[in-house]
Structure 1
Amino acid sequence: MTLATYVEMPTPRRAVDDRADDLLPADLTVAFGAEGAAVPGSVPLHDFMRTAGTLTHAERLLIVGQALLMLEGNYVHLPLKSAMHAVNPVQRLRLLRARLLRQTDATMDPERSFHQEMSSVFHSVRDLHTNYLLPQPFAGMIAYLPFQVERCVDGDRATYIVTRLAQGLSAPTFGVGVEITHWNGMPIERAVAVNADRFAGSNVAARLARGVDSLTVRALRLHLPPDEEWVTVSYTDADGVRRELREPWLVAPNAPAMADAEVLTTAAASQGLDLHADETSRARALLYAPRAVEQTLGNLAIELSTEPVAAGGDVASTMPLVFRARSVQTAAGTFGHLRVFTFNVPDPAAFVAEFVRLAELLPQEGLILDVRGNGGGHILASEFTLQTLTPRRITPEPVQFVCTPLNLEICRRHKDDPTGRIDLGAWYPSMDQSVETGSIYSSAFPISPEDGANSVGQRYFGPVVLITDARCYSATDIFAAGFQDHAIGPVLGVDDTTGAGGANVWTHGLLKALRDVPADPDSPYRPLPKQADMRVSIRRTLRVGALAGTPVEDLGVRADARHEMTRRDVLEGNVDLMEAAGALLAGRPRRRLDLTASVDAGGGLSLELRTTGLDRLDVYVDGRPRSSSDVADGTTTLPVPDAAGATVVQVQGFVAGDLVAARTEPL
């Protein structure tokens, strides 16, 4: 690895609070950062761009035609987005197609201009589910700078702090904790706002969050490479000296996705994912947690524990890119902190099992469940997890198609589930009737089967607080909505709302595969060239409970309490955020319901129960009530006669007649 020479010019010192508008280049010390790469296989942006620009005129026309097909025929939010944001993406695509028809291979615009227009059309609807995905050589690549910037509040002002450095960066005064003041000569707040305008977040907070993310990481699958080949970062070092760092953009392959959204599977059809957040999360893992990437790819062994975690300790996970579990000490007590980075997994049952394993090893006095930055993934993984935190029966969120001839034909072909994986029969009758009724949307039914959303039951019995931010999107929006709708606990927001992405998303490849079952020579979907792709929101989600029928899209989940990230949060492991979460858990009732069941030779069932904070237990065997007993804290043994052949026992715990705990166990 080679490093550029570090250059420092003599400079007078200036106070941190000096005015920025009288800052001159001569007042700064300037350094040139690393030329080496933090990610293997990295190349300078300039060299990478030499390989771009191979789409033919015919391929461009094909891409525009398929985009028109999907937005007109599949996109569920088109009526809403056209009204809310005063945009007409369909007309913009028609105009682009008209311009292309007047061009040839010799006269067509530069390829960057074509990609820029396509991306702009898709971004105009402000929907992170609905994307134009760039072809080779952009697919699967990231552009990055080897450091991370985060926004926080320091005193009464917003600041932007360097919070992590990647391997290879060599600038002695540029380290964790320095404050960024300017970005390529622009005040940092303005640079973030300019970046935010390029992104499709449903609300201002969501766009600004992605504006910060994109300062140092760009997923080239979704966004064109930066216009500049390097950035000049102005910052104030630990001694209050104003300095500048020049750092080149590098391009490298991203870590592979954990789920494939192109194949005809339940996982692909149940996607609710902000692809930008998912790509960015994997890129950051490559830069700052390469060990977790190696463990996930199977190159490193993971040492697991079966013992409850010690105070202040961590619990190793079998899914290190998905979970981080630890014990945190706050003024209000010692609690579990379970970070969920993504729901983008192929197997929801394995996800829930690992969630339960980690939660049971954490302190049982209270759980801080943290989904900040989680862009979603498998909707079943998100909704199946809710049951483990509450005794209440989970009602999954229902979803709707927009009624179009194209969607109707797909539902007709899959109303009897010919693949054995994707059953659209519930939506078909209302869509068929819409030809006569003129309904815009189909009837609403859940993607997650209700039985699966309640098959495991409650496994954590302490109080729970959920931490969200504006980066929470899609399946994470659905999870947060379900958490709030089922009154599991308070929602503590770093931002006022989540990212407000309430939909199930399908790719062009999945739509083509669905239309081709059975084989259809007249299918309007055509293969896209050079790994280009597109995604659209196909089904919109609706809330349940007190807000039943309210769409999640553009509204999101509003926090019950708010916490501004502080300098201590971004530099010292979220200490103030954990204190705020601990304060919400303080004083909330602690419950416990442990169950051991045994069946004797005569068919008698014996239940040994350890309880805390309960005054009554009701026993159900195979769904039928069998007994009810008053209890106090401690161990209780309950006999249940004539239980031969029983398969499942459930014990429900009450306080003053209110259901507060439930445990379900197979026999």
Structure 2
Amino acid sequence: MERNDTPEQLSSFLERMRASEPEGGEAIIDQARELLEQAYVHLPDNQASGVDPLGLLAALQRELPRDRVQLYRELLAIFARLGDRHTHCSLPEPFTSQVAFLPFLVGEFFERGERYLAVLHSATRELERGDVLVSWNGAAMAEVLGRQQEWQHGSHLEARYAKAVQTLTFRPLALMPPPEEETVALECVSAMGARRTVRMNWRVADAAWLAQRFHSFLDGVSAAEPGQEHGFSARRVETSHGTFGYIRVNSFQERPEPFLGRFSRVLKDMPRSGLILDMRSCEDGIVQLGERLLQLFTPRRIQPEPFQFRVTELTLQLVRSVPALAGWREAVERAAAQGRIYSEALPLTTESEANGSRQKYAGAVVLLTSALTYSTAEMFAAGFQDHEIGRVVGTAPRTGGGGASPWPQSTLFKLSGRAAFRPLPRGPFFRVAVRRCRRVHARAGALLEREGVAPDVLHPPTRADLFHHDRDLLEVAGRVLTGMQ
């Protein structure tokens, strides 16, 4: 099917999708079951908590939907119940590149103990920045977000809520089902207190088209920060407590050496009065890069976080046949011989890599986190806290709870050679968490998965944070830095 790069009404898109029956439904479900049964590290924990994806997939296979959209909806629902953003089902074209959207973005803030949802950016004259949303098709926003949370892959309530806000009006159809309604009636209150109702239709467009036309709209204010580098941006911030360095890390998805080299050079220009590291929206990356970054902020020796495989026929095959996994062979075979579910934990980052560079910044450091801080950034936050490098200031009670190393289906097929893992020509593509990590030092053995990192200081976002460049949050960070001197 040809891709449609121009926006179309949601109803038109769904009509085209329903015109064709699902291809290879039985094979798709067989593949998902095999991947989860053999590779998914968190399967025993999910089953112990009452979520058995193997049973759910078997039930779906017994009553296989004939409608393509419905089959994919059921499949996405099963993976959403896992509560694991490292493990997901990504739908094929044309869903892969398509986004269902309304022409505005929202953000949340707290005021007098109450939670509010407001328009953060708008590409329509009908909504203005600062409008507070009251209802959505007659339902209170709390109810709407509650329904939206059911489709999020967060491992706990805070993470699911944060993703629900993030995807409320921009929904990637590769990972989420289409909206149930074609038209949305929004009741909102302006900054001046005027109440009105705005109606708009869901549309579907290619992600590249949206990125081109809504670049600044989607990226927000961080895109314009001076000192922008690949993966991070740097500047100085003024607070009532003084002037401090500020580095926002957007992604760890880069080779470690170039990233660490640029980061080290930027640290030389940061004021010695204190540094704010912001990883609130960093959701992906390479584990070794995050762990190697820790050494730049402390003279202490870094102990990398150890990871565990689940013992299955597949993991035994891999550690015996893949040279890069040979170091795990003894641990996995010993666990299998002893009848244990998991191998002993071994680090992905070597001791020499984690400690190969000297400290580059000797001032006080505060780390900013949120419920969207995930994966490598979350492992950095755990190491930052476990090595007592500085203080963690969070806008949520904990980070996203994603402590694992995921592999795409293509990697599992390449390493194992198993036909069951071969990507289907026009089928969904799967990614699976294959190793889970544990924390070190005072929290040694604690799992990062599901638990996340609890901040030392909690600061729920305010209206000034949402609309005035994190003004109150930076004041809190400045106060914490001053107290650390």
* Bucket of the pairwise TM-score, normalised by the shorter protein: over 0.9
From 198, 201, 217, give the equivalent of 2:154: 201
Q: Distance in 1 between matches of 2:348 and 2:483?
A: 37
Map of 2:361 onto structure 1: 460
Secondary structure of the 1:143 match is strand
Contact 1:427 1:444 in 2 (8 A): no
Deviation at 1:242, TM superposition (A): 0.8
The 5 Å alignment of 1:166-177 reads 166=123, 169-171=124-126, 174-177=127-130
From 265, 268, 272, give the equivalent of 1:357: 265
The C-alpha deviation readout for 1:291-336, integer Å capped at 9, x for no partner, is 998x9xxxxxxxxxxxxxxxxxx542232xx323221111111011
Number of equivalent positions: 482
Task: Rate the CA distance shift 1:478–1:184 in 2: closer, same or farther, 3 A.
Answer: same
Map of 2:246 onto structure 1: 337
Task: Rate the CA distance shift 1:292–1:330 in 2: closer, same or farther, 3 A.
Answer: closer
Contact 1:165 1:288 in 2 (8 A): no
Task: Rate the CA distance shift 1:515–1:368 in 2: closer, same or farther, 3 A.
Answer: same
Deviation at 1:251, TM superposition (A): 2.4
Task: Rate the CA distance shift 1:73–1:512 in 2: closer, same or farther, 3 A.
Answer: same
The C-alpha deviation readout for 1:14-36, integer Å capped at 9, x for no partner, is xxxxxxxxxxxxxxxxxxxxxxx
- Counterpart residue type for residue 235 of structure 2: R
Contact 2:232 2:249 in 1 (8 A): yes
**Which residues of structure 1 form unaligned runs of 5+?**
1-38, 101-107, 257-279, 296-313, 418-422, 517-521, 590-667
The 5 Å alignment of 1:318-337 reads 318-319=229-230, 322-337=231-246
Higher relative contact order (CA 8 A, sep 6+): 2
From 511, 527, 547, give the equivalent of 2:443: 547
From 232, 247, 253, give the equivalent of 2:200: 247
The 5 Å alignment of 1:63-212 reads 63-84=28-49, 86-100=50-64, 108-166=65-123, 169-171=124-126, 174-212=127-165
Map of 2:426 onto structure 1: 530
Map of 1:447 onto structure 2: 348
Contact 2:28 2:427 in 1 (8 A): no
**Which residues of structure 2 form unaligned runs of 5+?**
none
Task: Rate the CA distance shift 1:248–1:56 in 2: closer, same or farther, 3 A.
Answer: closer
Identity of aligned residues (%): 36
Contact 2:121 2:217 in 1 (8 A): no
Q: Distance in 2 between matches of 1:246 and 1:580?
A: 39
Secondary structure of the 2:421 match is coil
Contact 2:378 2:452 in 1 (8 A): yes
Deviation at 1:450, TM superposition (A): 2.3
Q: Distance in 1 between matches of 2:151 and 2:218?
A: 25
**1:408 lines up with 2:316 in the alignment:** yes
Task: Rate the CA distance shift 1:43–1:457 in 2: closer, same or farther, 3 A.
Answer: farther
Secondary structure of the 1:428 match is helix
Task: Rate the CA distance shift 1:353–1:252 in 2: closer, same or farther, 3 A.
Answer: farther
Deviation at 1:50, TM superposition (A): 4.1
Deviation at 1:290, TM superposition (A): 9.1
Deviation at 1:181, TM superposition (A): 0.7
Q: Distance in 2 between matches of 1:255 and 1:466?
A: 33
The C-alpha deviation readout for 1:593-651, integer Å capped at 9, x for no partner, is xxxxxxxxxxxxxxxxxxxxxxxxxxxxxxxxxxxxxxxxxxxxxxxxxxxxxxxxxxx
Task: Rate the CA distance shift 1:63–1:482 in 2: closer, same or farther, 3 A.
Answer: same
Q: Distance in 1 between matches of 2:228 and 2:110?
A: 32
**1:575 lines up with 2:471 in the alignment:** yes
Q: Distance in 2 between matches of 1:132 and 1:455?
A: 38
Secondary structure of the 2:325 match is coil
- Counterpart residue type for residue 570 of structure 1: L
Structure 1 length-normalised TM: 0.69
**1:562 lines up with 2:458 in the alignment:** yes
Structure 2 length-normalised TM: 0.93
- Counterpart residue type for residue 126 of structure 1: G
Task: Rate the CA distance shift 1:175–1:80 in 2: closer, same or farther, 3 A.
Answer: same
Map of 1:273 onto structure 2: none
Q: Distance in 1 between matches of 2:174 and 2:144?
A: 22
Task: Rate the CA distance shift 1:351–1:146 in 2: closer, same or farther, 3 A.
Answer: farther
Contact 1:342 1:375 in 2 (8 A): yes
Map of 1:45 onto structure 2: 10
- Give the structure with higher Rg (CA): 1
Q: Distance in 2 between matches of 1:245 and 1:360?
A: 50
**1:481 lines up with 2:382 in the alignment:** yes
The C-alpha deviation readout for 1:552-608, integer Å capped at 9, x for no partner, is 11111111111011001100000000000001000433xxxxxxxxxxxxxxxxxxx
**1:60 lines up with 2:15 in the alignment:** no
Contact 1:146 1:287 in 2 (8 A): no
- Counterpart residue type for residue 467 of structure 1: L
Map of 1:265 onto structure 2: none
Contact 1:255 1:286 in 2 (8 A): no
Map of 1:633 onto structure 2: none
Q: Distance in 1 between matches of 2:300 and 2:208?
A: 38
Q: Which is helix-richer, 1 or 2?
A: 2
Task: Rate the CA distance shift 1:281–1:196 in 2: closer, same or farther, 3 A.
Answer: farther
Map of 1:224 onto structure 2: 177
Secondary structure of the 2:351 match is coil
